[in-house]
């Protein structure tokens, strides 16, 4: 997880970051509660605790 290294997570590489066709934009699919959203908005996280590197090759291997 990116949080332990102290670097900021790059949402573009996260499996939780996807395209929303209804709003025609990319967004995070993690459903945050009110306290978690408050922490994100006030920059209490150094990096996203929900960041998971999206490895397309592993996903395809599971599908086969």
DSSP 8-state class, residue 7: P
Q: Which two tokens stand for residue 60?
A: 């395809």
Could you tell me the two tokens for 64?
């086969």
* pLDDT value for 40: 76
Rounded to an integer, the average pLDDT of 43-49 is: 73
Please state, in angstroms and rounded to a whole number, the distance separating the CA atoms of residues 14 and 17.
Answer: 6
Question: Where in the chain are the domains?
Answer: 7-59
Note the residue count of the chain.
64
pTM score, whole prediction: 0.57
pLDDT in tens, 9-36: 578 888 898 999 999 999 989 998 998 8
């Amino acid at each position: 997880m990116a949080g332990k290294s102290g670097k900021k997570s790059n949402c573009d590489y996260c499996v939780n970051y996807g395209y929303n066709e209804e709003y025609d934009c990319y967004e995070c699919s993690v459903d945050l509660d009110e306290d978690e959203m408050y922490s994100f908005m006030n920059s209490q996280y150094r990096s996203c605790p929900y960041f998971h590197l999206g490895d397309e090759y592993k996903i395809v291997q599971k599908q086969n």
